[in-house]
Amino acid sequence: MAAGEPARRVEELRKLIRRYDYHYYVLDDPLVSDSEYDRLYRELEELEGAHPELVTPDSPTQRVGGEVLEGFGQVTHSQPMLSLDNSYSEDELVEFDRRIARAAGQEGPFDYVTELKLDGLAVNLLYENGTLVQGATRGDGRTGEDVTANLRTLRSLPLRLQDEELDPPLPAILEVRGEVYITRSGLEAANAQRLTDGEPAFANPRNAAAGSIRLLDSSITAGRPLKIVLYQMLAGETALLSGFSRHSEVLSYLRKAGFPVNPLWKACRGIDQVIDFCREWAQRRAQLDYNIDGVVVKLDDLRLRERLGATSKAPRWAMAYKFAAEQARTQLIAIDLQVGRTGALTPTARLEPVFLAGSTVSNATLHNEDEIERKDIRVGDWVWIEKGGDIIPKVVAVDTKARKPDTEPYRMPENCPVCGSKAVRPPGEVVRRCTNASCPAQIKERIWHFTSRGAMDIEGAGPALVEQLVDNGLVHDVADLYSLKKDQLAALERMGNKSAENLLAQIEVSKSRGPARLLFALGVRYVGAIAAQLLAERYGNLIAMQDATKEEIEAIEGIGQVIAASMAAFLAEPRNRQLLERLEEAGVELGCAPAEKVEIPAEGPLAGKRFVLTGILSKFTRSEAERLIKERGGKVSGSVSSKTGGVIFGEQPGSKLDKAKKLGVRTIDEAEFLRMLDQK
């Protein structure tokens, strides 16, 4: 390739891919086949790999995530991200219109824009010269969290804007605001996977979107089915006011610039048309593949908006009309109990099937026994169920007038419904648990979790197969998976030689998943994927972790007291140590070489002192700083107390620094820390 040709081809490919992304993700109008798109994308990856100097942050190849953050920085919004006042009736919408007239000093009808109100996470985006440079959450309205790395993974969000033929031209600095959300189908798929992985389902779309955007590992965010719509341009309402007079013009401009804008907005003349729009979508919302909980009503006239201004909490020119939650009445046939991998007994309502919010519902969550008692839910009752913004149906009320006189209050059983062992409710907890660690239900759930995609990812080892393996006595714990034979598997229902060979190949591949995936797969209570990653990074090898104390684990940034106590208890159990040894003997990689254990000398400049680290140090990683402290006789703790010898802080320190100042504990910046390390 001639000199200068790689740069030209890279830019050509980026323009093509951005155009195809815009048509696919924003306009829902694909221009090329998936195979053609993949070919161009691979070509761009190869060129950037051969010429790393050509890689830029706005390249389509830089979306995939992988950045692991220690925490989120803070972003002060240039203009507060205000809330909206809510209305719940048509009369309140009429009163809102009257307030507009009084404040404006003129009679209507006024021009409004109505937009569907998605229940997601509000974000603020900053573009410089057309390139995304910062994304932040709403936070408290004035200060949010910097989640740029995670927002960059959203395929529908342009990293670089389309600035050709825009009138007016893009400003050098452009701020826009929008909503990150998850579709119904996307959330159902994500929840199915989470349940397969032994994780709790997301309660609703907002929780799913907010939790995904606030993950510390952007590669996990990249795997979530997140989307975004934009609905506001700050520059369009301030610096560029001469270019726009109406909000409807701003929405069209955003779409031309490459932003995804919900196409179902409508320009309305007068409040009666607004009410008609609200009525229409209150009836049609079940037809959408995403949840809406209302309609946002905004004045279209930008100059009138500026005159009306805002209170400290909300703009005077906008109102959110909230829909009533959809409910259905049906009969509770039975209360079923599911036994999880930790022995938790979870009650579920088995219902007479009923259609609700776009789907037929036959089961609903009852949460726990306290909730059943509080609502006095009994088998045979007629109950009201609701989805509202939730994906998972729930029982919200009992129709006590329809209750038969012979019904009895429900009582949770004192024995496990699967194995018959004692089921106890530990003090301070709302969950009753089976006490038998060998309970078949727990074993099945633990093995299913171990084989799931987010853990050891053993394809083909679904719930049906796991049930057969346990019921036939072939597997009693996860280590037994690695001693399975072809003839044993081939003899199972719906298996055969080829399926057995494929499964054994998948089991073999799983041996090299790494310590973080393995630790998560073991299902230690409270230890999720992120905590497992932090622990694996600290120790490198699960065998090396076995002698770790609760205090030492708690000292790891991002690991709290509950996780530390659970992890320490797991490691102290002899059967768990034996399990790790059996996995290692089977060839499962427990990690890299054991991390070198730093011997703490009895003497040294920091001897006898306990330090706490907080914030980001510029010259050391957290582990390097810990090692240097220990080499000089000091100790490292994860919590601040009056006995702490000092709190060493870097950029963006957390609450530990505030607590140290409150307790009068010595605070040490990085420069002073360097001087301490030089002491003899």
Residues with a catalytic annotation lie at 117
Between vectors from CA 555 to CA 554 and to CA 561, what angle results, nearest 5°? 20
Q: Note every long-range contact of 151-154, with CB atoms under 8 Å and residues 24 or more positions apart, other chains counting.
A: 151/123, 151/125, 151/180, 151/213, 151/228, 152/62, 152/63, 152/65, 152/218, 153/63, 153/64, 153/65, 153/218, 153/221, 153/222, 153/226, 154/63, 154/180, 154/226, 154/227, 154/228
The string of DSSP codes covering 239-308 is TTGGG-SBHHHHHHHHHHTT----TT-EEEESHHHHHHHHHHHHHHGGGSSS-EEEEEEEESBHHHHHHH
What is the C-alpha to C-alpha distance for residues 470 and 369, in angstroms, rounded to an integer? 29
Handedness of CA 420, 421, 424, 430 (dihedral sign): negative
CA distance 151 to 62: 12
Give the three-state DSSP class for 137.
strand
Neighbouring C-beta atoms of residue 295, cutoff 10 Å: 27
Structure tokens, 68? 């692991």
Return the SS3 of 93.
Answer: helix
Long-range CB contacts (within 8 A, 24+) of 653-658? 653/614, 653/615, 654/71, 654/614, 654/615, 656/612, 656/614, 657/614, 657/615
Q: How far apart are CA 554 and CA 209, in angstroms?
A: 28
**Whether 558 contacts 528, CB under 8 Å:** no
- Beta-carbon contacts of 196 under 8 Å, excluding residues fewer than 6 positions away, are 448, 452, 453, 463
Three-class SS of residue 447? helix
Instruction: List the one residue out of 586, 557, 567 whose CA is nearest residue 523.
Output: 567
Name the residue with tokens 């005159």: 307
Q: Which strand ranges, in their side-by-side order, compose the sheet holding 131-137? A: 131-137, 121-128, 173-182, 226-233
Q: What is the C-alpha to C-alpha distance for residues 126 and 96, in angstroms, rounded to an integer?
A: 32
Query: What's the gap between Cα 224 and its chain centre?
Result: 8
| 160 closest CA partner among 19, 9, 8, 38 | 19
Q: Which residue has the tokens 């694909």?
A: 30
**Beta-carbon count within 10 A of 77 CB:** 19
Helix/strand/coil for 34: helix
For 416, the token pair is 């496990």
CA 178, distance to chain mean position in Å, is 18
Q: CA angle, 342 as apex, 341 and 346 as ends, to 5°? A: 85
Residue 241 near residue 302 (C-beta atoms within 8 A): yes
Cβ-based neighbour number of residue 164 at 10 Å = 9
646, 611 in Cβ contact below 8 A?
yes
Question: Exposed e or buried b for every residue in 536-575, given b needs 16+ CB within 10 A?
Answer: bbbbbbbbbbbebebbbbbbbbbbeeebbebbbebbeeee
